[in-house]
Structure 1
Amino acid sequence: MTETMARPPLDKKIISKLEEIFGEERVLTRNTDMITYSYDASFETQLNPRKPEVAVIALSTEEVSQCVKLANEHNVPIYPRGAATGQTGGAVSTKGGIVIDLSKMNRILDIDHRNMQVIIEPGVVQNDLNEALKPYGLRFPPDPGSANMCTVGGMVSNNSSGLRAVKYGVTRHYVLGMEVVLPTGDIIVTGGAKSKALKSVSGYDLAHLMIGSEGTLGIVTRLRLKLLPLPVTRGIILCSFKQLEDAGAAVNAVFSSGLQPSAIEIMDFNCTKAVNMMKPELNLPVDNEAILVFEVDGAKEEVTSQVARLKKVVETYASYIKFSDEPEECEKLWQARKLVGAAVGLLKPGGFRVYGGEDICVPISRLPETLREIHNIADRYGIVCGIYGHVGDGNLHTGPVVNSNNEVEMENVQKMIDDIHDLAIKMEGTTTAEHGVGIVRAKYMDVEHGPAMDIMRAIKRTLDPNNILNPGKMALPN
């Protein structure tokens, strides 16, 4: 267990104060509890778990505010945490202190369907929100692969996106306002204290300053979100390609033709193999280097027209094409893409999938060479690796698979991760498109942003002069 506490232990009086705020049953100090809060879904925390000194479970904004005021008064670091599905160490301690668990603040407070918006607490799970919106014919469009588990507060913290970002954008496009507890413990509401408007240019856009800040500038306790109607019809086209480069070229050609699919997902030959191993009845085509899954949505006539045009564009590059607009068949075709994150681990007997270098994004024009170079990097280090992701906006997820008792592989996969991040920057891209920076990508921030990092650090110092909120993340002060 990695030691993270480079400061004096918490005074027992602070624990007592926390018990006054939250009640004894929601203040956790046992070693077994602290071990639980030492991890998120990242490879980094598997290797180096980071224990806090205490975890508290919040149920209200007032509790969060009182806790932050206490932490600020005594210079105690505090780490906001939702479902901990993040893959960057963003919700774990770096130097002891308090983890504040927001996952129980999970109420849907107001579905204002007439005004196309909803007010929720940050611990609402994304899929639960959309299930509640279905009877109104509405949805919250961002849909990360962890939608069955991740909280919307976590999505806001990392500005998450997902499968349909290519058409519908990312989380920040749907946040109209939020209630935020600042590092002082003060509470503000962005987007207008009482506003129900769907747009505004009144004042500084403080909501967008908070979105993607990974809990370093404030703790979100309430969200006002914009909604969209559910699409009437969806159609799915599955295509396979003999060469990775052909798949990349097909994506370029689709956009050049003026088409706007709602999603374009890629799976390389290793991912196809893994999915067929996990679920043979899907029977994905195997004589290929890549599969693309296109989705189009809208009115029935619009979908029919888009599909015909899309098929005409991709048939120049594809060796196999399959289409369906039947809901059950569409779900079956999508199932392959949804399974791939878990299936990749089957590529190596006794191996496990490493979440590292897993979220790069490159310009669409450089997709073909990036796809090939990732495999060249994997081959250089002798690592089995699958590539999948939201190729429609250049977002690639790599899935290296290693054996944990093979020291050489464990060392090589770390080098491979570094090379993949370096490749993203070389290709004029970014080291993270939707998973965030946290601990694991902090070392690339200065290279990626240059002098702009000085401005980010200045903002952090201004809002959080005592550096209590999620310190050590995003290359901000530790």
Structure 2
Amino acid sequence: MQKSDILKNLQEIAGNERVSASSAELYCYSCDASQVRGMPDFIVRPVSTEQVSKIVRLANEEEIPVTSRGAGTGMAGGAVPLEGGIVLDMSSMNRILEMDLGNLQVTIEPGIIQEKLNEALEPYGFFFPPDPGSSAMCTLGGLIANNGSGMRSVKYGTTKTYVLGLEVVMADGTVVNTGSKVTKSVAGYSLNDLFIGSEGTLGVITKATLKVRALPKERSVLLASFDDPEHAGQAVVKVLSSGLIPSACEILDRNIIEAINTYDPNIGLPKAGAILMFEVDGTENSVREGIEMIRGICSSLATSIRAASDKKERDEIWAARRLVGAAVSRLDPLRTRVYLGEDIGVPIKELPGMLHKIREISEEFDLPIMTYGHIGDGNLHTGMCIDMLDDKQWDKLSKVADKIHRTAIGIGGTVTAEHGVGSARAEYLELELGNALDVMILIKKALDPKGILNPGKMGV
């Protein structure tokens, strides 16, 4: 079929106004937040499962690649159409279909923004716990497709913890439903888990039923300063080993503290080798006891400790943490943040050693690394900036990222704890997964024999 005929067919399915092949629009969909690039041939913005099914069926018949996309906030090239074809922009399918709060669940379309769901839930006293840094922008479909998480995962778990059921369009256009509305079921294979984190390589998510939780009555935050990140890592191990599970546990190292204070001098974070931010939620008594317990555990390692005195101070501390993404590039205006080697996860007891190793790698290659992230679940982000016009700096950055990845794998960790594999980290999957990657490839071939769904991603 000629390109003009494909365009006409897509317009008949979704409507002229929801299909585009203009150069300007295609360019806008050629990237995400990563360094990965790929130009699509068509953009389609479906509004129903029926439309998605017809589009995918056409693509399968004509062997046209299909890449699903939410808000494009990914950092691994997961939504980038490496082999052209159709980009399915799912952001128009953004409704809350059902709020079944008596059963502690909601049913949503994939294009709804994560923050918008929580805004709708809050008046009823509920929330959806996964809390990525991009919560004001990212879609829930993208969050499910990457099994994203964020700051509260140390206590509440990742997105997969909350997925009860999915509606998925398969590679041949067939619509299947996985899971159910019950909180537990062992009827058949766990197909939810197959599609969660599959990054659109096995099917297109068009609906999801999600668990929600009651909002905690109280929250408080404790901020502890340390001479170096290794001492901060030791404090995290001690806190988690005590049996207390904070609702969030974040780290900021010296470089990122300086960057945040430069970005907004009013923030006034204390100068330190590293800062830990602990949040405890629950009842008023349990929060007070938890904060005091953390204070006692950290006292032998920290140089200073302070707990938020009220909601205003608590919000100010978290506002500083949420500035990280904007602040990373501010220390040197001539350099740009590049998302490579920036989402490792390591076993909890390995945190002090990994933090020390990151500092050694930074010194070895003379490349500043700003370390921050969800240290309570072992997830560290290493922010690096370079002059993007300097090939030598690109080469150095690649070597640093490679060493960070291989170090994490070497101690039983992962190259991506929440941002996804995409194409940016696909080369490490064989090293990390071994022959389990062969099983992934078999599953991909079985469900998508023509290889049309997000080709070139996840090593499959």
TM-score, normalisation: structure 1: 0.95
- Provide the secondary structure at the position in 2 that maps to 1:237: strand
The C-alpha deviation readout for 1:296-344, integer Å capped at 9, x for no partner, is: 0000011011111110000110001010252111000111111112111
2:260 paired residue number: 275
The C-alpha deviation readout for 1:139-174, integer Å capped at 9, x for no partner, is: 110000000000000000000010010000000000
Segment drifting more, 251-260 vs 376-385: 376-385
2:379 paired residue number: 395
Task: Give the aligned residue type for 1:210.
Answer: F
In 1, the alpha carbon distance for the partners of 2:183 and 2:124 equals 18
Task: Give the aligned residue type for 2:55.
Answer: C
- Provide the secondary structure at the position in 1 that maps to 2:32: coil
- Provide the secondary structure at the position in 2 that maps to 1:384: coil
Does 1:251 pair with 2:236? yes
1:385 paired residue number: 369
1:342 paired residue number: 326
1:25 to 17, 20, 26: 17
In 1, the alpha carbon distance for the partners of 2:323 and 2:205 equals 31
Task: Give the aligned residue type for 1:217.
Answer: L
Contact persistence 1:234–1:325 (CA under 8 A): no
Contact persistence 1:348–1:384 (CA under 8 A): no
Contact persistence 1:238–1:292 (CA under 8 A): yes
Task: Give the aligned residue type for 2:5.
Answer: K
Q: For 1:282-293, what aligned pairs fall within 5 Å after superposition?
A: 282-286=267-271, 288-293=272-277
Q: For 1:221-232, what aligned pairs fall within 5 Å after superposition?
A: 221-232=206-217
1:124 paired residue number: 112
Task: Give the aligned residue type for 1:147.
Answer: S
In 2, the alpha carbon distance for the partners of 1:406 and 1:444 equals 25
- Provide the secondary structure at the position in 2 that maps to 1:280: coil
Q: For 1:256-267, what aligned pairs fall within 5 Å after superposition?
A: 256-267=241-252
Deviation, 1:381, is 2.1
1:452 paired residue number: 436
In 1, the alpha carbon distance for the partners of 2:2 and 2:292 equals 65
Segment drifting more, 68-77 vs 401-410: 401-410
Q: Which consecutive unaligned segments of at least 5 residues does structure 2 have? A: none
Does 1:441 pair with 2:425? yes
1:78 paired residue number: 66
Does 1:474 pair with 2:458? yes
Task: Give the aligned residue type for 1:160.
Answer: G
In 1, the alpha carbon distance for the partners of 2:165 and 2:103 equals 14
Task: Give the aligned residue type for 1:350.
Answer: L
Does 1:214 pair with 2:192? no
Task: Give the aligned residue type for 1:58.
Answer: P
**% identical equivalent positions:** 49
In 2, the alpha carbon distance for the partners of 1:449 and 1:370 equals 20
1:6 paired residue number: none
The C-alpha deviation readout for 1:343-400, integer Å capped at 9, x for no partner, is: 1111223211111111000111111121121122122222222000000011000100
Contact persistence 1:88–1:436 (CA under 8 A): yes
The C-alpha deviation readout for 1:58-79, integer Å capped at 9, x for no partner, is: 1110000000000011111110
Task: Give the aligned residue type for 1:184.
Answer: D
Task: Give the aligned residue type for 1:283.
Answer: G
In 1, the alpha carbon distance for the partners of 2:75 and 2:366 equals 23
- Count of aligned pairs: 460
In 1, the alpha carbon distance for the partners of 2:48 and 2:312 equals 41
1:14 paired residue number: 6
The C-alpha deviation readout for 1:236-285, integer Å capped at 9, x for no partner, is: 00000012211010001101222111111000000110111111122111
2:46 paired residue number: 58
1:178 paired residue number: 166
- Provide the secondary structure at the position in 2 that maps to 1:282: coil
Does 1:242 pair with 2:227? yes
- Provide the secondary structure at the position in 1 that maps to 2:441: helix
1:115 paired residue number: 103
In 2, the alpha carbon distance for the partners of 1:69 and 1:396 equals 40
Does 1:89 pair with 2:74? no
Task: Give the aligned residue type for 2:252.
Answer: M
Deviation, 1:10, is 5.3
In 2, the alpha carbon distance for the partners of 1:408 and 1:402 equals 10
Does 1:103 pair with 2:91? yes
Runs of 4+ in structure 1 off by over 3 angstroms are none
Aligned-CA RMSD value = 1.1
1:38 paired residue number: 30
Q: Which consecutive unaligned segments of at least 5 residues does structure 1 have? A: 1-8
Does 1:333 pair with 2:325? no
Deviation, 1:199, is 2.0
In 2, the alpha carbon distance for the partners of 1:83 and 1:25 equals 19
In 1, the alpha carbon distance for the partners of 2:22 and 2:161 equals 41
Contact persistence 1:263–1:295 (CA under 8 A): yes
In 1, the alpha carbon distance for the partners of 2:377 and 2:79 equals 27
- Provide the secondary structure at the position in 2 that maps to 1:296: strand
Task: Give the aligned residue type for 1:349.
Answer: P
In 2, the alpha carbon distance for the partners of 1:406 and 1:456 equals 37
